[in-house]
Structure 1
Amino acid sequence: MKLQHLLVVIDPSRKDQPALTRARWIAERSGARLELLACEFNPALDNALLLAQSDLEQGRQNLLDERMAWLENLAAPLRAAGIEVKCQVRWGKPAHRQIVLHCEQSQPDLVLKSAHHHSLLKRLFLTNTDWQLIRHCPRPLWLVQHGQWRGRRLCAALDPLHASDKPAALDHRLIVAARELEQRLMMQADYLHAYVALPHTLAFNAELLADYDNYVLRTEAHHREAFSALLAQYPDIDRSRTHLGQGFAEEVIPGYVHDNDIDLLLMGAVARGQFDNALIGQTAERVFEEVECDLLVIRPVT
């Protein structure tokens, strides 16, 4: 994953812009150029029966011009700091569709968007736009947490058994992205795989119950072997930074993030079914709802 062109989705409804703050931090360390994007839509200017089409078009253009001036104001201090910045506005709804269309046209290396923060639980609150972007954004998507950013540690959550990604391509994309961020942004990268054996209470026959302890050991060995085989393709990864966690991923991953002060979690968005080929898996959805850090979501190449 390159870090040359960053698309920053600006939210006109909020005063703070965590995604823009994070993008500046990345640009200062990587030399990336920024593209600020704001999406606008007002139903009153979309199709009013008592107004001429030319008046509607002028009203829309006036609103877009105001938004462009606002973006240029946000860009000014970045340019003063030596960062190349371009501003874009789009008219239309829904917002996620406009963002996806813009990504397809401009092909950024990374998309950054502010996610909402639940102040009581210290967790991300993902809006419908966030979920739709997770499902459909064609470029890596960085959802930015509102809070203190240390920028020291990242963790890539891997699935070496490829339950949802049989060619293993997504695991490799995650590892490549983690290594790029580690090198360019001077972050320490960890690699985590969580696995779980069939719980004792769900053992379905007497033979499995009688040999349950050995079954658990075999399950661990199977996952450890697959994890090691994946990492063996990257001999320069420090093995002390690789971790095999026993338990449900939606519990192990958030626990690891919390206990190790992870600033950025990398996860893959995978296919759920033949017709929902852009949907994210249920496990990842549960993980996203529990973590307290930034999220970088990467989808398989289609």
Structure 2
Amino acid sequence: MLRKIMVVIDQGQDDQPALDKAIRLARVSGASLELVICDHNTYLEDGFYFDPPQARLLRQEHVERNRLLLEDMALVIRQQGFTVEVDALWGNPGYQKVIEKVLSDKPDLLIQSTRHHEKIARLLLSHQDWQLLRYCPCPLLLVKDQAWPEHPLLVAAVDPVHSNDKPADLDHQLTGVAHALAKLTHGDVKLFHSCYQAPVSGVYPLVVDKALYREKTADLLAAFAIADDALFISDEDVRHSLPVFLQQQGASVLVMGAVSRAAIDRFFVGSTAEKLLDRVDQDVLVVKPAGFTDKVKKARPENL
């Protein structure tokens, strides 16, 4: 159930696809909106160019300009009957401030625009959306530039054999989120699973039993009254087969899970999400397993 949607506003952009989709979801769910800008400028730090009192004053003025910008946007949206709050944040790294805001305000969904990243940036996880993938405790919708059709298709990437140490109930969580979002948007849901196994010898691919995977997914389909033909099982590498499937089906949203990896105060989204985000043209809705919020709260500030 959506009660509050937080939107990260993309500064300096005329188009705001994240806000557009947030408004569509708020319209059909009755959720309130919270618009957030997180900004930082090294020149306004104490002692860089200005003494601390002057730098503090300039930062306050800068943040106030951002807040007024958000208020102008909110005024237009409120006139359409929506409940809208705004907050202008200051800090570096920006994703940390956004996560702190999520933890304090507890939105049901965080939406942010994302664009193609250069390869080196992906490897270094230097972009804010990559960090949000790792740390955001609530569902995170990373939207691209494509508008949703009247009846969008949502594809949930499931793993019925729970490989890669996924929590056993995460598939139900992913399917439930996709099902609920499809209901709100008058869309449809399909499930995708890649049972690809790398060749043992490096030459001959393994033969997989797709019927076995369908059997393991039967309970999941039944739980959400999803037809058997809405499940697609591929024996090809997910990095290639899933983007092709999404394109062929005309999907609008990919719903996938992100799990924490056991390491000291560090969280990773798993190799699948990292490899797919830039390969797909669709929006990506990332869902963390239950209990992830508590792990974020316990993380050291410097790692957040």
**TM (normalized to structure 2)?**
0.86
Residue 237 (str. 1) matches residue 236 (str. 2): no
Shift, 1:153, TM fit: 0.8
Aligned Cα RMSD in Å? 2.2
Residue 265 (str. 1) matches residue 254 (str. 2): yes
Q: How many angstroms apart in 1 are the aligned matches of 2:179 and 2:49?
A: 58
User: 1:216 aligns to what?
Assistant: 207
Residue 196 (str. 1) matches residue 186 (str. 2): no
- Does the 8 Å CA contact 1:30/1:185 hold for their aligned counterparts? no
Shift, 1:284, TM fit: 2.2
Identity %: 33
1 or 2 for the larger relative contact order (CA 8 Å, sep ≥6)? 1
Q: How many positions carry a matched residue from both structures?
A: 283
User: 2:179 aligns to what?
Assistant: 179
- Does the 8 Å CA contact 1:110/1:140 hold for their aligned counterparts? yes
Task: Give the AA of the match of 1:241.
Answer: A
Which moves more between the two structures, 245-254 or 290-299? Answer: 245-254
Structure having the higher Rg:
1
Shift, 1:117, TM fit: 5.1
Call closer, same or farther: CA 1:272–1:50 in 2, change over 3 Å. Answer: closer
Call closer, same or farther: CA 1:52–1:117 in 2, change over 3 Å. Answer: closer
**TM (normalized to structure 1)?**
0.86
User: 1:121 aligns to what?
Assistant: none
User: What 5-or-longer segments of structure 2 have no aligned partner?
Assistant: 118-124, 293-304
Per-residue CA deviations over 1:37-73 (Å, capped at 9, x if unaligned) read 0012122221126744332222111111111110011
User: 1:283 aligns to what?
Assistant: 272
Q: How many angstroms apart in 1 are the aligned matches of 2:227 and 2:167?
A: 24
User: What 5-or-longer segments of structure 1 have no aligned partner?
Assistant: 119-125, 204-208
Q: How many angstroms apart in 2 are the aligned matches of 1:235 and 1:116?
A: 32
Call closer, same or farther: CA 1:276–1:241 in 2, change over 3 Å. Answer: farther
Q: How many angstroms apart in 2 are the aligned matches of 1:149 and 1:19?
A: 11
- Does the 8 Å CA contact 2:44/2:50 hold for their aligned counterparts? no
Q: How many angstroms apart in 2 are the aligned matches of 1:127 and 1:29?
A: 35
Per-residue CA deviations over 1:112-156 (Å, capped at 9, x if unaligned) read 0011258xxxxxxx9711100001111110011113331511110
Q: How many angstroms apart in 2 are the aligned matches of 1:50 and 1:24?
A: 40
Partner of 1:284, secondary structure, is helix
- Does the 8 Å CA contact 1:152/1:188 hold for their aligned counterparts? yes
User: 1:7 aligns to what?
Assistant: 6
Partner of 1:193, secondary structure, is strand
Residue 227 (str. 1) matches residue 217 (str. 2): yes
Shift, 1:272, TM fit: 3.9
Per-residue CA deviations over 1:139-188 (Å, capped at 9, x if unaligned) read 11001111333151111000111113453122121011012112222111
Call closer, same or farther: CA 1:183–1:149 in 2, change over 3 Å. Answer: closer
Task: Give the AA of the match of 2:186.
Answer: M
- Does the 8 Å CA contact 1:193/1:227 hold for their aligned counterparts? no
Partner of 1:72, secondary structure, is helix
- Does the 8 Å CA contact 1:117/1:146 hold for their aligned counterparts? no
- Does the 8 Å CA contact 1:109/1:140 hold for their aligned counterparts? yes
Partner of 1:7, secondary structure, is strand
Shift, 1:287, TM fit: 1.6
Shift, 1:201, TM fit: 4.9
Partner of 2:87, secondary structure, is strand
Q: How many angstroms apart in 1 are the aligned matches of 2:224 and 2:141?
A: 27
- Does the 8 Å CA contact 2:43/2:49 hold for their aligned counterparts? no
Call closer, same or farther: CA 1:197–1:55 in 2, change over 3 Å. Answer: closer
